[in-house]
């Protein structure tokens, strides 16, 4: 039997010192890894396999190779839905970020009681279901009985088919999307702003910097990682918007609100085989991953140094 050397004991002790909680860490992450395996990884692998088949619920599925993918990639309607999704992001995300930033700046500048009122009021839409929001805004936009057209009529302005005109419909569903997403974005920004050391602003005050200079040279650089997070999550949430166009317009008029997820969903519920919609979903996953990676690369996340 080999004799245990003092050096071995030293290594074990050092490892224990370096990784004191390794086992506990594995135990702690095990549940989420198992759940991810069951509900994300396995279904994703299964979906990948099914995307190569004409999957039928009643007959033997037929292997079709890459046909579903070529069908999707050569379908101008799929490409149009992706471009529409990017357009929707371009409409909603900047408004949401700038609006939330201004609101957060206001909330951190006023006294605590008023700040609490502001925070609660901006957060309320976040806890309202997207379905209910869709219904509320559909009523607001109603052509012959909606409050918006009633206001326009009072002002002697031409009433609009907010959800029936292809030039207006996407903007009309963007408004509730911004309204729903603003609260959480704003609260995260407030948290980030409160984390910036007050000494930075005190020094700037001493130097005579105005609000704009403090925002550009202190607040925005210090919020860089938070902004990166909000841009990525905002982009993904926005391009994947589903409930609002489903309930408010069902993708119309003229497919002007058929965002990528709704496009896939419409194929899922209408196609005789499910392979096309699975292939489209996987390709959307590739698009989202690529754009997210691009944003990471451009904004270059890094650890802040005080």
Partner 1 sequence: MTAPTRRRLGVGTALLAATALLAACGSGTPGQTADEDAEAGDREVVEFWHHTFTTPENEWYEQAVEDFNASQDEVFVNETVVPGDAWDEKMTAAQAAGTAPDVYPVPGRLNDGVRLGSYLALDDLLPAEAFEQVTDAAAEISQVDGTWYGYPLLLEPQRVLYWNKEIFTEAGLDPESPPTSWDELYEACEQIQPVLADGQFCIETFSDQDTLAWSTVAEQMHVAGHLPISEDWTTADATDPAYEELIEHYTTLYSEGYIPRQSLAAGNSAAPFGEEKVAMITQGSWGMSELVADYPEVVDHTGVAPTITSDGDQTESLTTVGNFKWVLDANSDNAEAAAAFIAYALAGDTDVLLPFFVDTQFTKAPAREDVAEAVNADPGAAEAPWSEVITEDVVPYTIGEPLYPWDVNVAMGLAIQQSMMGDVAPADALAEADATIEQIIEREDLPANRAELGD
Positions 85 through 124 that interact with partner 1 (CB under 8 A): none
Residue 274 contacts partner 1 per CB under 8 A = yes
Taking the complex as a whole, the smallest distance from the CB of residue 192 to partner 1 amounts, in Å, to 34
Taking the complex as a whole, the smallest distance from the CB of residue 150 to partner 1 amounts, in Å, to 9
Residue 164 contacts partner 1 per CB under 8 A = yes
Residue 125 contacts partner 1 per CB under 8 A = no
Query: Omega into 67 within 30° of 0, i.e. cis?
Result: no
d(CA 237, CA 180): 11
Choice from 21, 24, 59, 286 touching partner 1 (CB under 8 A) = 59
d(CA 190, CA 105): 7
Choice from 179, 204, 268, 292 touching partner 1 (CB under 8 A) = 268
Read off the tokens for 179.
């309204």
Residues in the chain: 306
Read off the tokens for 69.
């993918």
Helix (H) or strand (E) holding 145, with range, is none
CA dihedral 289, 290, 294, 297 (to 10 degrees): 70
Residue 130 contacts partner 1 per CB under 8 A = no
Choice from 144, 199, 210, 300 touching partner 1 (CB under 8 A) = 144
Piece of 31-39, 155-163, 224-232, 236-244 that binds partner 1 (CB under 8 A): 155-163
Positions 70 through 89 that interact with partner 1 (CB under 8 A): 71, 74-75
Q: Are the C-beta atoms of 265 and 258 separated by less than 8 Å?
A: no
SS3 21: coil
Question: What b/e string do you get for 80-99 counting C-beta neighbours within 10 Å, with b at 16 or more?
Answer: ebbebbeebbebbbebbbeb
Residue 242 contacts partner 1 per CB under 8 A = no
Residue 254 contacts partner 1 per CB under 8 A = yes
User: Residue 53 — φ and ψ, nearest 5°?
Assistant: -125, 155
Piece of 86-94, 198-206, 214-222, 261-269 that binds partner 1 (CB under 8 A): 261-269
Piece of 13-21, 56-64, 103-111, 291-299 that binds partner 1 (CB under 8 A): 56-64
Residues that bind partner 1 (CB under 8 A): 56-59, 71, 74-75, 143-145, 153, 161-166, 250, 252-255, 265, 268-270, 272, 274
């Amino acid at each position: 039997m080999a004799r245990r050397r003092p050096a071995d004991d030293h290594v074990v002790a050092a490892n224990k010192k370096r990784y004191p909680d390794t086992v506990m860490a594995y135990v702690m992450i095990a549940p989420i890894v198992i759940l991810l395996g069951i509900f994300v990884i396995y279904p994703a692998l299964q979906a990948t396999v099914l995307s190569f088949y004409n999957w039928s619920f009643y007959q033997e599925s037929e292997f079709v190779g890459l046909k579903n993918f070529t069908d999707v990639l050569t379908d101008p309607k799929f490409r149009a839905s992706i471009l529409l999704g990017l357009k929707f992001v371009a409409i909603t995300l900047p408004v949401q970020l700038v609006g939330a930033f201004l609101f957060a700046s206001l909330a951190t500048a006023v006294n605590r009681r008023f700040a609490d009122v502001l925070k609660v009021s901006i957060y309320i839409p976040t806890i309202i279901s997207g379905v209910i929001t869709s219904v509320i805004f559909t009523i607001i936009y109603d052509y012959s009985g909606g409050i918006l057209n009633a206001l326009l009529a009072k002002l002697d302005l031409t009433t609009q088919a907010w959800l029936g005109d292809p030039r207006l419909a996407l903007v009309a569903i963007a408004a509730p999307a911004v309204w729903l997403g603003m609260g959480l974005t704003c609260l995260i920004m407030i948290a980030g702003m409160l984390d910036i050391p007050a000494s930075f602003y005190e020094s700037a005050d001493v130097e005579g910097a105005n609000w704009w200079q403090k925002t550009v040279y202190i607040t925005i650089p210090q919020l860089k990682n938070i902004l990166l997070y909000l841009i990525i999550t905002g982009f993904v949430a926005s391009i994947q918007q589903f409930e609002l166009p489903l309930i408010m317009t069902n993708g119309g008029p003229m497919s002007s609100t058929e965002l990528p997820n709704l496009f896939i969903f419409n194929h899922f519920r209408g196609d005789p085989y499910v392979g096309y919609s699975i292939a489209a979903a996987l390709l959307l996953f590739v698009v989202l991953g690529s754009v997210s990676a691009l944003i990471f690369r451009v904004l270059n996340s890094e650890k802040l140094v005080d």
